[in-house]
Amino acid sequence: MAQQKRLAVVTGAARGIGKAITLELLAQGREVAGLDLNAKQLKELEKCASEAGYSVITKCVDITKTSELCEILNALAKEHGGIGILVNNAGITRDKLMMQMEEDDYDLLMAVNLKAAFMATKTVIRSMIRNKFGRIVNISSVAGVMGQAGSTNYAASKAGLIGMTKSIVREVAKKNITANCIAPGFILTEMTKVLPDMVKDAAKQVIPARSFGSPEDVAKAVAFLASDDSGYINGQVLCVDGGMAM
């Protein structure tokens, strides 16, 4: 199947990095389904795509409801002859010092950042094996590589994605399936907008580039790992971080 014809699924597609990934994959001529729980922002994504001359499939779903998530993925795979690309991008933060962190904050974050990615991958991998092609890109974080005070739950989920990615490779690489992680550093989105200026200033001091990245910086790297050109790159963690985690 021509690479453009393979359906790409992006979770957390309605804004920020997920939106940029969706628009970049559309610009490359792919069919893309964007999943998110924010119906209003999904409509805005549709509008944005249409203004750029593309059409995007959107599905409103809370990915922690894993049976709904898997049902949607199975239906998409059936309609499109499989899912060729899966980008597990949706993620949340629930930052607090570990001593103050509530169990509920840990559980919800893990459900979004790690369990949903596991369930989505488990669901789409069958059609990838059948079609002898798959590109899985998991959006981790430099927090999962370096650790981050105040984000123990988040860092654990992002490090978990890295271990999961490498294990997937050991299971299915011989079926022409790749799984890689992108570990963004400090990217300007709604997620980071809310951080106090003091935290942002301190972050800049540890980034050799002395600047923050854009969602598009991450989207370009995802598009490469999702392409046919990256077929021999497997189980890697690509930091898109201005040199922060090297």
**Residues annotated as catalytic (active site), given as ranges:** 154
Task: Between 24 and 36, name the residue whose CB sits nearer to ligand NAI.
Answer: 36
Across 78-106, b (16+ Cβ under 10 Å) vs e yields: eebebbbbbbbbbbbbbbeeeeebeeebb
Q: Which residues bind ligand NAI (CB under 6 A)?
A: 12, 14-18, 36-38, 41, 62-64, 89-92, 112, 139, 141, 184, 186-187, 189-192
Angle among Cα 167, 172, 175 to the nearest 5 degrees reads 160
Nearer to ligand NAI, 73 or 131 (CB): 73
Nearer to ligand NAI, 153 or 189 (CB): 189
Rounded to whole angstroms, the Cα distance separating 121 from 66 reads 12
In order of 23, 136, 155, the CA distances from 166 in angstroms are 27, 11, 17
CA distance 91 to 202: 23
DSSP secondary structure letter of residue 175:
G
User: Which token pair is 119?
Assistant: 């369930």
Dist. CA 196–CA 112, nearest whole Å: 24
Residue closer to ligand NAI by CB (options 23, 139) is 139
In the complex, least distance from residue 2 CB atom to ligand NAI, rounded to whole angstroms: 29
C-alpha dist (Å) from residue 129 to 72, 89, 157: 19, 22, 26
Q: Please report how close the Cβ of residue 75 comes to ligand NAI at its closest, in angstroms.
A: 17
DSSP 99: G
Least separation, in Å, of the C-beta of 175 and ligand NAI?
Answer: 26
Output the smallest distance, CB 166 to ligand NAI, in A: 18
For ligand NAI, the closer of residues 169 and 187 by Cβ is: 187
Provide the residue count of the chain: 246
Determine the Cα–Cα distance for residues 72 and 34; give it in Å rounded to an integer: 11
Structure tokens at 170: 């050991």
Q: Report in angstroms how near the CB of residue 134 gets to ligand NAI at its nearest.
A: 20
